[in-house]
């Protein structure tokens, strides 16, 4: 009985003595740090010191997670490695932090514009290394912070974007390789030319991905929402334009975005219990997300086969290549437009707006005036509202080719675009529309009759049978058990706050217990998402298809009263992380 107690006491004493010798989060003027010494943030989250990445022999000064030292989040001397372990960090005479090599040459410096009399450097629990005056009135003002100089990782609280007053741009740049943190080929930045959009750019081969322009609520190709670990916020002000993930209290920590050296933007999450990082999503993660997969004047739809289609009124530039699924040539007009009478527009809904290459922006005019502006200019090919809030306002005009349009199935994404067509194309569409409407009317009567018959036959079977015909691909058929609302209400304690485990654009996710004892996750689609029965079914099919990707088992659904609910198996441990994030519409890009 006593031996273990003594042992535990000794252990604790050892720990605290050992801990005291290293666990300091500040470096004061007059002090310096040698290779081998580290600073640790007060909550033991981040550590700052010297390291060698991968198989490299070089020494770098940087920051990593205390629990996973191989996860480096910031590097000071990216371009200028130390070749031995005799480097040290110290303060220069004007208060800058300076990394110095053996022959006393400065290899990196914080290079502030202000001079500090009595500087102190502190490593905060957010992963921010800050420089400030150690005492006095201004001791809470950061004269320099590592958050203003990101490497390849965006941490919660760190801004991606611009300080327009100082001209400071905060962007992510990939490492060259696992062994080399010097700036690599890929950057992730906020482009603020026209309307802001997040872009992933390769220095060698231009754009890889873009989020679509900011439309007042979200980027037209990416929603801004919450996960269990972060809430994403976009700030669009006169002096600052930036994107930030605010951390949320709870079980999860996020490394948010890493600009991977292989060209992927990755969102990582760890549960505080497991200390293992999971990639929640990567961008671009499908061919339609990759920049301009289908070439000019085309539209990409991930659920179609083939995924690329010319816009209405356009035909493949090279039909032979198009047939071979080589899309880079894009599409060209079937009939040219020349500002003649009768030209008009076709409405495309839920699309990522084309890239802002040649465009005109006026935030003051209405959609009607916008259309008139586009008609006036012969080279105008499309228009859209620049802001979708309060019914829409402002005007974006595109000239020339329309690049990188993607259509979404989910309601959370995309916005309405109007593309210009000559009279002949519009007449053609109008006529085929009429025919289609007659066919639809006839089919609806037939379907209604069949449906009544089916109800008579199968009324005792509690299943929601969902059937949809894809345009060209095979028919999908999903057969899901139907839960009644009372069961779900009981399982989640009446959708109690205590059962809430996450929330996204689609609505909240609750943990629940069925009367059988089975643990479930209940995704309650938000009522104000405006999702109709058809969209709900489409999404259900989509998720059922995702099961192939071993995401989460979909147990059933509920469509009672106004409610649209999906019920999943609740999985413990590692898959829990996947589950929460996998289900929720991606918070951003």
Ligand X SMILES: *[C@@H]1O[C@H](CO)[C@@H](O)[C@H](O)[C@H]1NC(C)=O
Residues making contact with ligand X (CB under 6 A): 83, 101-103, 105, 107, 109, 111, 113, 175, 258, 260-262, 335-336, 338, 340, 362, 364, 422
Residue holding tokens 């469509």?
A: 559
Runs of H (alpha helix) within 207-255 = none
DSSP state of 527: G
CA distance 575 to 561: 32
Nearer to ligand X by C-beta: 127 or 508? 127
* Min CB(469)–ligand X separation in Å: 35
CA-nearest of 351, 376, 352, 350 to 365 is: 376
Q: What is the CA radius of gyration of the chain?
A: 28
Cβ closest to ligand X, residue 236 vs residue 489: 236
Q: How far is the CB of 172 from ligand X (least distance, A)?
A: 11
- Cβ of residue 551: shortest distance to ligand X, in angstroms? 18
Nearest-5° Cα angle at 432, 428 to 435: 150
CB of 282 to ligand X, least distance (A): 7
For the bound state, the minimum distance from the C-beta of residue 211 to ligand X, rounded and expressed in Å, comes to: 21
Beta-bridge partners for 177: 180
Distance CA 308, CA 214 (A): 25
Phi–psi pair at 82, nearest 5 degrees? -85, 140
Instruction: Give the whole-angstrom CA distance, residue 52 versus residue 380.
Output: 54
Residue number with the shortest CB distance to ligand X? 105
Q: Which of 364, 528 has the CB closer to ligand X?
A: 364
In the complex, what is the shortest distance from the CB of residue 94 to ligand X, in angstroms, rounded to a whole number? 11
Handedness of CA 18, 19, 25, 28 (dihedral sign): negative
DSSP state of 403: -
Choice between 374 and 520, CB closer to ligand X: 374
| Closer CB to ligand X, 119 or 422, in the complex | 422
The smaller minimum CB distance to ligand X, of residues 504 and 582, is found at 582
CB hemisphere CA count around 245 (13 angstroms): 27
374's enclosing H/E stretch is: helix 367-376
Helical (H) or strand (E) element with 133: strand 129-133
Q: How far apart are CA 294 and CA 402, in angstroms?
A: 11
Calpha distance 354→296 (Å, rounded)? 10
State which residue, 16 or 102, has the beta carbon closest to ligand X.
102
Nearer Cβ to ligand X, position 404 or 425?
Answer: 425
Q: How far is the CB of 114 from ligand X (least distance, A)?
A: 10
Q: Which is nearer to ligand X, 153 or 415 (CB)?
A: 153
Cβ proximity of 502 and 580 under 8 Å = yes
Is 303 within 8 Å of 409 (Cβ atoms)?
Answer: yes
| Min separation Cβ 83 and ligand X, Å | 5
Nearer to ligand X, 123 or 172 (CB): 172
Shortest reach from residue 525's CB to ligand X, in Å: 31
Residue 526 Cβ, how far from ligand X at the closest point, in Å?
32
Minimum Å distance from CB 371 to ligand X?
17
Q: Look at residues 235, 241, 232, 233 and name the one whose alpha carbon lies nearest to residue 281.
A: 232
User: Contact at 8 Å (CB) between 290 and 209?
Assistant: yes
Q: Which is nearer to ligand X, 175 or 570 (CB)?
A: 175
Taking the C-alpha atoms of residue 364 and residue 276, their distance in angstroms, rounded to an integer, is 49
């Amino acid at each position: 009985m006593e031996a273990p107690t003594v042992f535990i006491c000794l252990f604790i004493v050892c720990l605290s003595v050992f801990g005291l010798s290293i666990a300091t989060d500040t470096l004061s003027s007059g002090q310096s740090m040698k290779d081998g010494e580290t600073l640790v943030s007060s909550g033991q989250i981040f550590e700052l010191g010297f390291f060698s990445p991968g198989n490299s022999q070089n020494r770098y000064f940087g920051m990593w997670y205390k629990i996973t030292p191989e996860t480096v989040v910031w590097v000071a001397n990216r371009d200028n490695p130390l070749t031995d372990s005799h480097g040290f960090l110290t303060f220069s005479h004007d208060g800058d932090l300076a990394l110095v090599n053996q022959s006393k040459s400065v290899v990196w410096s914080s290079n502030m514009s202000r001079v500090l009399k009595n500087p102190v450097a502190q490593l905060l629990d957010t992963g921010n290394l800050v420089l400030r005056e150690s005492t006095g009135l201004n001791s809470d003002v950061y004269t320099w912070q590592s958050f203003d100089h990101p490497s390849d990782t965006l941490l919660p609280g760190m801004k991606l974007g611009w300080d327009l007053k100082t001209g400071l741009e905060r962007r992510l740049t990939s490492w060259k390789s696992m062994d080399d943190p010097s700036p690599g080929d890929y950057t992730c930045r906020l482009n603020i030319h026209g309307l802001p959009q997040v872009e992933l750019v390769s220095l060698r081969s231009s754009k890889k991905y873009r989020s679509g322009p900011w439309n007042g609520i979200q980027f037209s190709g990416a929603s801004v929402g919450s996960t269990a670990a972060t809430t994403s916020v976009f700030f669009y002000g006169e002096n600052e334009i930036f994107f930030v993930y605010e951390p949320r209290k709870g079980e999860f920590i996020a490394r948010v975005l890493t600009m991977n050296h292989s060209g992927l933007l990755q969102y990582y999450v760890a549960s505080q219990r497991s200390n293992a990082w999971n990639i929640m999503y990567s961008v671009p993660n499908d061919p339609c997300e990759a920049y301009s997969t289908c070439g000019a004047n085309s539209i990409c739809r991930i659920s179609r086969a083939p995924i690329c289609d010319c816009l209405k009124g356009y035909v493949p530039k090279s039909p032979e290549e198009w047939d071979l699924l080589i899309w880079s040539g894009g599409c060209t007009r079937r009939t040219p437009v020349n500002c003649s009478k009768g030209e008009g527009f076709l409405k495309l809904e839920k699309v990522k707006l084309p890239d802002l290459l040649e465009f005109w922006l006026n935030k003051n005019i209405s959609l009607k005036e916008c259309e008139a502006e586009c008609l006036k200019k012969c080279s105008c090919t499309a228009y859209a509202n620049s802001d979708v809030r309060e019914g829409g306002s402002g005007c974006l005009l595109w000239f020339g080719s329309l690049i990188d349009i993607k259509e979404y199935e989910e309601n959370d994404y995309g916005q309405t675009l109007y593309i210009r067509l000559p009279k002949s194309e519009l007449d053609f569409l109008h006529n085929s529309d009429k025919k289609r409407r007659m066919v639809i009317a006839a089919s609806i009567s037939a379907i209604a009759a069949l449906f009544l018959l089916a109800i008579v036959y199968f009324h005792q079977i509690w299943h929601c049978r969902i059937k949809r015909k894809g345009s060209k691909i095979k028919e999908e058929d999903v057969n899901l058990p139907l839960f009644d609302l009372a069961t779900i209400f009981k399982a989640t304690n009446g959708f109690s706050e205590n059962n809430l485990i996450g929330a996204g654009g689609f609505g909240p996710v609750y943990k629940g217990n069925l009367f059988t004892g089975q643990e479930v996750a209940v995704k309650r689609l938000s009522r104000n998402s405006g999702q109709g029965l058809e969209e709900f079914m489409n999404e259900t099919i989509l998720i059922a298809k995702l099961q192939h990707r071993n995401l989460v088992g979909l147990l059933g659904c509920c469509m009672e009263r106004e409610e649209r609910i999906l019920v999943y198996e609740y999985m413990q441990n590692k898959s829990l992380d996947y589950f929460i994030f996998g289900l929720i519409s991606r918070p951003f890009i």
